[in-house]
Amino acid sequence: MTDPHPTREEELHFRRIDMRAWRRSDGLFELEGRVTDRKPQDFEPWRGGKRVPAGEPVHDMGVRLVYDAELQIHAVETFTEAAPYGECPDGGQALQSLIGLRMASGWSREVRSRLGGARSCTHLMELLIPMATTAFQSLSQVHRGRAERVDATGKPLKIDSCYAYGQERELVRVHWPQFHRPKPSDTG
């Protein structure tokens, strides 16, 4: 019989992902993404590698991206403070292939294409996907007051970009009433 009110019995893994962005004095922006994995018990990779005491980081690594206001990458730096294998720090070298790319539509696909599999460190590659969103968010104040980006029909690109900006929601009704499309159940 299944327990109708199961309790947490044993923590197995802890992962923390942190991302922070800064404006730099040279007019560019810098974003750091970091992933830290810990185990509540001693950990030894089953294929060999470094034994890690309970609570110590199994992984503590990250990426720093330098980018401009158009989200084009100017520099990439990786760091590894902790990893279970001696080869792990070299897994960041392939990220140099991102220099010149824009963190825009197609970013995730391009990152996977350039860095997937044995070409780079999986942990660093996976950090890059949400880093694009964080970089975009970091520029919200920089871009404040700019003209609204619109498609060929004049519809703001914000519409349908997320749940809150769905064409049937209140934000669209208030800010762009001509593009508001209420759900059939809302009309009546």
Q: What is the pLDDT of residue 156?
A: 85
Q: Domains of the chain, with CATH numbers?
A: 14-143 (3.30.390), 147-188 (no CATH)
Q: How many CA atoms lie within 13 A of 18 on its CB side?
A: 9
Q: What is the pLDDT of residue 4?
A: 86
Q: What is the pLDDT of residue 16?
A: 97
Q: How far is CA 126 from the centre of its chain?
A: 8
Helix, strand, coil percentages (3-state) for the chain, rounded to 5, are 30, 25, 45
- pTM reported for the whole predicted model: 0.81
Question: What is 108-177 written as a DSSP string?
Answer: HHHHHHHHTGGGS-HHHHHHHHHHHHHHHHHTHHHHTTSPPPB-TTS-BTTTTSSSTT-TTSHHHHHH-G
Per-10-residue mean pLDDT, the chain, length 188: 85 96 97 97 87 95 97 98 92 96 95 94 95 94 78 87 89 90 73
Give, in order, the Cα–Cα distances in Å from 162 to each of 49, 132, 179.
Answer: 43, 16, 15
Q: What is the pLDDT of residue 187?
A: 55
